[in-house]
Every structure is written in structure tokens, then in C-alpha cells.
């Protein structure tokens, strides 16, 4: 996700843009920039890193002008760099564009534009847009009409701000596809536009929300709304009731809930621009520096901590079954002290959403010392892990504020899934047809997760019944076992309840001694995750008066009759069931933590990034 902000009115734009961008930083912060229309054209300032760096760079003097756009970036195409920072301009510096989203067909558009003599300065997909607008404006079209012409060529999810030096009183906002929201703020003789409410609240509470496939034309202090064909749309403005912090939470009570609810979008972002569902193509150019060693790779070692370790337990099975390589998953704080043999024949895949976890970094340093090839999966551009690894696969989930990892966990699972397919294809161990099927299964996940999130009231009601218990067991088999571990970790770190995850097959070797009528047992038992074996475990628990909460497939009435409470999952590919199964457990932990009066966004004793050993 990125943050975009625009202003046109009677005041100087630069300061307003910086203030707004600072409130959008939670959406991404690997570079920032503004373009302000002065008397002699656009004055552009960009910096790598947070908005503060941009503010510092402008200390010498803010560009003057009453129309401008600004951007804080979350890298998708093109590394975090000055050249790739937005806003982007056309060849003559006449058109300035900010984008949130992806121009899916940018490679072909860029090739055509280069052939027609345009010059490019970045590796981004966005930069094709100002050049296309430059060409459309050549026909003396009004800016909004030129924009409509361009939208017929550019495909993908686009949330855009566009300004033209020859239209000094006009700012265009475009929303096409699910590239994140755009909100228009109505001031006195001035208008604002931004990705999200927090950027507008210091200036106005009177707002309008741009819908999908709509354009806003901000001109002379007024906003006109049309569809993509130019037909006028009557749009009510509403009073934004939120305070700044709740606006940053998108109106949710807590960041953790917001981030759980964002998962359909963040899961889409995890494969957006990487997967072409039409032809079953998978494009991960960022892995090229490592894949040149692929011929010598004989095994994969995955390593991480905490929730990310649970992701490695799932990723290990993806690598084994999809890529056809031996794989192990090692807790980083253990791996770093073992006599491991992470030589050149080993590919080490680390996962760290923060990219700053000390134990994971130490394991990566040890792997580097032994000459292993390294890929890291992270959510934070520019973080230490991304500098240590030879290649980074970004989770692209947007900033995760809640200490409990939720959207970054499911996003890392999708990254592991894509990595396994990519390795399988590159090793010729995975038939293209099978790869296409796996990608089709993947495409269903965001909407399936969206359906589960609609069940939130069911999970909240169950939480009310379970919040009083002091000890929980979570059981699973195969890919359900890491889900059990993750469900237990979510509950314990959010509600301070003692919760233990266990391989269900291990029950009879000890954990079953814990079971009595004061112990709720969550059994991860959907079809596809060794359901029949799990049914046996459910009977074992029932025979000892345990309280069974079954995570079951919708329609599995036979097993539903044998548990006290059912959390139902849709049918899905067994490989992707962990992405679905964890969602009810995230919400169960959240609602139980709430019931127990815990600080769910900042649980005691924990930190979002564990930079100590």
C-alpha cells in the first residue's frame, strides 16, 4: 500500500502535503516525495525513507505554489530509491502523477513509449502514466478527458492523483480497481484528496469517498465527480466523525482488528503484479540473484522466530511437495548455535516481517558465513534482513502496527507458496499445468478469507463463552499442526492465557494428561488436513470431558455433531487451508483478549520487533 495526498486552493500546498503524508506513513514509508506547481512549472522533491527525511530536505525552503501532490511509497515494482520515488513526471515535466496500485500491463506500455521516443528514469510501473497522459494532452484534450483516454490503455488497480502544469487550477483523482481508497476533503475555497481519512482530518471533516471506476475533478475549490466515461455523478459529502487515531485504525477499535480485516486486500497485494492468472504466469524477478545458484541447491533450510517460525513449518511442506526439494524448518535462535552445514548447496529462506529480529539476523549471518544462498521474506523495505539476503520477497501487506502478527503471517504464507511454485518451475520439477492449477487455487483465497471475516460475530460470541478458561490446547496434523501452534501463540500473546499447540499425534505421548472439563481443546480438522485422524483425537478429548472446538469444513455434519463448538471453513485446496484456518483463530484470540480487558494492540512484555537476543 502507498499513501497519496493532493491539495488545490488558496494556501501554500507544500506544508499541507507534508502534514498529510506524515499521517499516511502507516501505509508505507520506503520513500516520499512532493510535486508543487510553481510559476515556472513543477518543483519536485523526493527522499528515500520516511516523510521526516523529506521534511528535513525541505528545511531550506518549501516550494511555493497552491497546487501539489505528495506520496509515501510501499515498494512493489522497483527498489526503494530516489529514482523510483513518486511523484513521477513526463518527458517535459508537464504532468505529475502519484499512484497507489499496479499498472499490470506496464511492460508492454513502456516498450511502446520507449519506441515512440519517451525517456524513463525509474523501474516503476507508475512512470508509464505521465508519459501516456503527455501524449493524450498533445491532442489538446482537457486533463480529465486525457485521463479517460489513458485509463482505456492502462490495466490494473489504480488509485491516482494527476496534475498538469498547464491546468494550474485542476487536480484529478482516479480510482479504478481495488487499489485502495481515495477520500476528497472539502474546505473553504480549497479541496484536499488522500488515500485515507487521517491525512484530511487536520484540515476538514467534510469528506466524500471516491467509488471504484470514478474520477474526481478538483477545480477552483470545488469537486466534480464522474464515471470513467465522463458521466456526472452526484456525490454527498459526509462529516468525518473519526478522531485521528481511530482514522488511522480505519474506524476499527484496534489496529489488530483492522489488520485482520485487511487480509483480503493484503493477500491480493501479496500476489498482485506477480501472478498472471490468464496464462498462469508467475513473475518473481527479485529472486533472480539467487536462482542463478539453483543448479547447486540440494536442500532448503527455512528459519525464523515466533509466528514467522510457524510460517516456515508450512513453507517447508510447500517446498517439499511443490518444488520437490528436501526442506527443514529451524527456529532461528536454535539454528544459530548448532553445527549446521549451510554450505553453497543450501538455500536458506528466512522470514521476518519486521526484518529486524536479532535471532533471525544472527542465523542469516551464520548462513552467509557458511556460503549458503539466501532469500528473505519480509514486510519492511530497507530492513536489516533485506540487506543481508541476496534476494527479498516482500509480503507487501502494508505497515502492521498491532504487535500480534496477523496479515503479515498470511501474507508470508502466500509468499512461500509462490516461492515453492517458482522453485518447482525453475527446477523443472513442477509441470506448468500443475503450476497453473496451484495459481488458480491461490486466486480464490482472498474472497474465501473475506467470507470467513463475515463470520466475526460467531467468533466473538464463542470468545464470550471461552474467555474464562485458563488453559487451552490446540491440536493439528500435517499442515494443521503449524496452524495449531499459531492459534495457541495468538491466544497466549493477546489474552495471557496459557495455550499450548501440539501435534495431535503427540497427544497420547503426554499432552492428553492435561485434558479435563476445564480445558478447551481447539482441533484443526477440516477435510484435507488428516480429518479422519483428527476425528480420533476429538474422541480422545471428549472421553476425558475436554471441551472441543472443531475447526471443520462447512457441511461436515458428522464431525460437527461430535464437538461442542464448530468454526466452519469453506472447501479449499489443502495446501492453502492454513491461510484460511488461521483467520478464525486470530479473531478468537482478539475477542478473548478484549473480554479479558487486555491491551490487544500492545500486549504486556512484548514488542513488535524483537531486536534483542
Residues marked as catalytic = 2, 608
Which of 126, 357, 374, 376 contacts ligand AGP by CB under 6 A?
A: 357
Residue 156, SS3 per DSSP: strand
Question: Running DSSP on this structure, what letter comes out for residue 64?
Answer: P
Question: Running DSSP on this structure, what letter comes out for residue 85?
Answer: P
Shortest distance (Å) from residue 347 CB to ligand AGP: 19
Kindly indicate which of the ranges 37-45, 286-294, 299-307, 472-480 contains the residues binding ligand AGP, using the contact rule CB under 6 A.
Answer: 299-307
Cell of 383: 530492513
Cell of 321: 511437495
Quick one: 72 or 360, whose CB is closer to ligand AGP? 360
Quick one: 340 or 360, whose CB is closer to ligand AGP? 360
Question: Running DSSP on this structure, what letter comes out for residue 87?
Answer: P
Residue number of the CB closest to ligand AGP reads 306
- Residue listed under C-alpha cell 464522474: 226
Shortest distance (Å) from residue 423 CB to ligand AGP: 22
Q: Considering CB under 6 A, how many residues would be counted as binding ligand AGP?
A: 15
Quick one: 47 or 353, whose CB is closer to ligand AGP? 353
Which of 403, 419, 515, 563 contacts ligand AGP by CB under 6 A?
A: 403
Q: Is 353 in the site for ligand AGP (CB under 6 A)?
A: yes
Q: How far is CA 34 from CA 15, 19, 45, 82, in A?
A: 10, 12, 6, 12
**Exposure class string for 195-204: b at 16+ Cβ within 10 A, else e:** bbbbbbbebb
Cβ-proximal residues to 182 (8 Å cutoff; 6+ apart), any chain: 4, 159, 173, 174, 175, 193, 194, 195, 209, 210, 216
Shortest distance (Å) from residue 410 CB to ligand AGP: 12
Residue length of the chain: 613
Query: For 120, how many CA atoms within 13 A lie in the half-sphere containing its CB?
Result: 22
Widest CA span of the chain, in angstroms? 81
Kindly indicate which of the ranges 4-12, 112-120, 301-309, 322-330 contains the residues binding ligand AGP, using the contact rule CB under 6 A.
Answer: 301-309
Q: Do the Cβ atoms of 196 and 210 come closer than 8 Å?
A: no
| Residues 525-544 within binding reach of ligand AGP (CB under 6 A) | none
- Residue listed under C-alpha cell 492465557: 497
Shortest distance (Å) from residue 171 CB to ligand AGP: 38
| Residues 302-321 within binding reach of ligand AGP (CB under 6 A) | 305-308
Beta strand 346-352 with 373-378 is parallel
Quick one: 203 or 474, whose CB is closer to ligand AGP? 474
Could you give the angle at which helices 456-466 and 577-595 cross, rounded to 10 degrees? 50
- Residue listed under C-alpha cell 504464507: 413
Quick one: 208 or 352, whose CB is closer to ligand AGP? 352
Helix ranges (H only) for 185-324 are 244-248, 255-261, 263-271, 288-291, 306-318
Q: How far apart are CA 567 and CA 556, in angstroms?
A: 11
Which of 333, 360, 386, 396 contacts ligand AGP by CB under 6 A?
A: 360
| Residues 488-507 within binding reach of ligand AGP (CB under 6 A) | 493
Shortest distance (Å) from residue 385 CB to ligand AGP: 8
Q: Is 610 in the site for ligand AGP (CB under 6 A)?
A: yes
Q: How far apart are CA 340 and CA 359, in angstroms?
A: 15
Kindly indicate which of the ranges 16-24, 134-142, 399-407, 536-544 contains the residues binding ligand AGP, using the contact rule CB under 6 A.
Answer: 399-407
Query: For 304, how many CA atoms within 13 A lie in the half-sphere containing its CB?
Result: 29
Quick one: 200 or 385, whose CB is closer to ligand AGP? 385
Quick one: 126 or 353, whose CB is closer to ligand AGP? 353
Quick one: 214 or 493, whose CB is closer to ligand AGP? 493
CB atoms within 10 A of CB 138: 9
Quick one: 195 or 353, whose CB is closer to ligand AGP? 353
Quick one: 84 or 308, whose CB is closer to ligand AGP? 308
Cell of 123: 523501474
Q: Return the H-helix or E-strand segment holding 424.
A: helix 407-426
Q: Do the Cβ atoms of 249 and 256 come closer than 8 Å?
A: no
Helix ranges (H only) for 249-403 are 255-261, 263-271, 288-291, 306-318, 332-335, 358-369, 384-388
Shortest distance (Å) from residue 381 CB to ligand AGP: 14
Beta strand 156-164 with 191-194 is unpaired
Q: Is 401 in the site for ligand AGP (CB under 6 A)?
A: no
Query: For 225, how many CA atoms within 13 A lie in the half-sphere containing its CB?
Result: 18
Which of 340, 354, 392, 410 contacts ligand AGP by CB under 6 A?
A: 354
Q: Is 301 in the site for ligand AGP (CB under 6 A)?
A: no
Which of 170, 208, 268, 352 contacts ligand AGP by CB under 6 A?
A: 352
Which of 165, 223, 405, 563 contacts ligand AGP by CB under 6 A?
A: 405
Beta strand 95-103 with 88-89 is antiparallel
Helix ranges (H only) for 561-606 are 577-595
CA proximity to 128, closest of 164, 163, 104, 157: 104
Shortest distance (Å) from residue 402 CB to ligand AGP: 8
Shortest distance (Å) from residue 176 CB to ligand AGP: 34
Quick one: 340 or 406, whose CB is closer to ligand AGP? 406
Q: Is 601 in the site for ligand AGP (CB under 6 A)?
A: no
Beta strand 346-352 with 327-331 is unpaired
Shortest distance (Å) from residue 315 CB to ligand AGP: 13
Kindly indicate which of the ranges 155-163, 403-411, 472-480, 538-546 contains the residues binding ligand AGP, using the contact rule CB under 6 A.
Answer: 403-411
Shortest distance (Å) from residue 305 CB to ligand AGP: 4
Shortest distance (Å) from residue 15 CB to ligand AGP: 35
Residue ranges in contact with ligand AGP by CB under 6 A = 305-308, 352-354, 357, 360, 403-405, 493, 609-610
Amino acid at each position: 500500500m502507498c499513501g497519496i495526498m493532493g491539495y488545490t486552493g488558496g494556501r501554500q500546498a507544500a506544508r499541507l502535503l507534508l502534514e498529510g503524508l506524515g499521517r499516511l506513513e502507516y501505509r508505507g514509508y520506503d520513500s516520499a516525495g512532493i510535486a508543487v506547481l510553481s510559476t515556472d512549472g513543477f518543483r519536485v522533491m523526493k527522499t528515500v525513507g520516511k516523510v521526516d527525511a523529506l521534511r528535513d530536505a525541505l528545511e531550506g525552503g518549501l516550494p511555493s505554489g497552491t497546487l501539489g501532490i505528495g506520496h509515501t511509497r510501499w515498494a512493489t515494482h522497483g527498489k526503494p530509491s530516489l529514482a523510483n520515488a513518486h511523484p513521477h513526471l513526463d518527458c517535459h515535466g508537464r504532468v505529475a502523477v502519484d499512484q497507489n496500485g499496479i499498472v499490470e500491463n506496464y511492460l508492454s506500455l513502456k516498450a511502446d513509449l520507449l519506441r515512440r521516443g519517451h525517456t524513463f528514469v525509474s523501474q516503476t510501473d507508475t512512470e508509464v502514466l505521465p508519459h501516456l497522459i503527455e501524449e493524450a494532452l498533445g491532442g489538446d484534450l482537457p486533463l480529465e478527458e486525457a485521463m479517460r483516454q489513458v485509463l482505456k490503455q492502462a490495466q490494473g488497480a489504480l488509485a491516482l492523483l494527476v496534475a498538469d502544469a498547464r491546468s494550474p487550477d485542476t487536480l484529478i483523482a482516479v480510482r479504478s480497481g481495488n487499489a485502495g481508497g481515495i477520500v476528497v476533503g472539502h474546505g473553504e475555497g480549497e479541496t484536499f484528496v488522500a488515500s485515507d481519512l487521517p491525512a484530511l482530518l487536520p484540515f476538514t471533516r467534510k469528506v466524500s469517498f471516491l467509488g471504484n471506476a470514478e474520477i474526481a475533478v478538483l477545480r477552483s475549490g470545488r469537486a466534480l465527480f464522474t464515471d470513467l466515461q465522463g458521466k456526472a455523478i452526484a456525490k454527498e459529502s459526509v462529516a468525518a466523525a473519526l478522531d485521528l487515531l481511530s482514522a488511522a485504525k480505519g474506524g476499527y477499535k484496534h489496529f489488530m482488528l483492522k489488520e485482520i480485516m485487511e487480509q483480503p486486500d493484503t493477500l491480493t497485494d501479496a500476489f498482485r503484479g506477480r501472478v498472471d492468472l490468464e496464462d498462469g504466469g508467475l513473475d518473481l524477478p527479485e529472486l533472480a540473484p539467487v536462482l542463478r545458484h539453483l543448479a547447486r541447491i540440494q536442500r532448503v533450510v527455512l528459519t525464523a522466530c515466533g509466528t514467522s517460525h510457524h510460517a516456515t513449518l508450512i513453507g517447508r511442506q510447500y517446498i517439499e511437495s511443490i518444488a520437490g526439494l528436501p526442506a527443514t524448518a529451524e527456529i532461528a535462535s536454535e539454528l544459530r548455535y548448532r553445527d549446521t552445514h549451510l554450505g553453497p548447496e543450501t538455500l536458506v529462506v528466512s522470514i521476518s516481517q519486521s526484518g529486524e529480529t536479532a535471532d533471525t539476523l544472527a542465523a542469516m549471518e551464520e548462513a552467509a558465513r557458511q556460503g549458503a544462498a539466501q532469500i528473505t521474506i519480509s514486510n519492511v523495505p530497507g530492513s536489516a534482513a533485506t540487506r543481508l539476503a541476496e534476494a527479498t520477497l516482500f509480503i507487501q501487506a502494508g505497515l502492521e502496527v498491532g504487535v500480534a502478527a496477523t496479515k503479515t503471517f498470511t501474507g508470508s504464507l502466500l509468499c512461500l507458496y509462490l516461492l515453492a511454485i517458482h522453485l518447482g518451475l525453475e527446477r523443472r520439477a513442477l509441470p506448468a499445468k500443475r503450476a497453473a492449477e496451484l495459481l488458480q487455487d491461490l486466486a480464490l483465497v482472498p474472497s474465501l478469507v473475506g467470507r470467513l471475516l463475515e463470520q466475526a460475530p460467531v467468533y466473538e460470541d464463542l470468545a464470550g463463552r471461552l474467555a474464562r478458561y485458563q488453559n487451552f490446547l490446540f491440536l493439528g496434523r500435517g499442515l494443521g499442526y503449524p496452524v495449531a501452534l499459531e492459534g495457541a501463540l495468538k491466544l497466549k500473546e493477546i489474552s495471557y492465557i496459557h495455550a499450548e499447540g501440539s501435534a495431535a499425534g503427540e497427544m497420547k505421548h503426554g499432552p492428553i494428561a492435561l485434558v479435563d472439563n476445564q480445558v478447551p481443546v481447539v482441533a484443526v480438522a477440516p477435510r484435507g488436513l488428516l480429518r479422519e485422524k483428527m476425528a480420533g483425537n476429538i474422541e480422545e478429548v471428549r472421553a476425558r470431558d475436554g471441551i472441543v472446538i472443531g475447526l471443520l469444513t462447512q457441511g461436515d455434519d458428522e464431525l460437527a455433531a461430535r464437538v461442542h463448538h464448530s468454526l466452519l471453513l469453506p472447501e479449499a485446496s489443502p495446501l492453502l487451508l492454513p491461510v484460511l484456518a488461521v483467520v478464525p483463530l486470530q479473531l478468537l484470540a482478539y475477542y478473548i483478549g478484549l473480554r479479558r480487558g487486555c491491551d490487544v494492540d500492545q500486549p504486556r512484555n512484548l514488542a513488535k520487533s524483537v531486536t534483542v537476543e
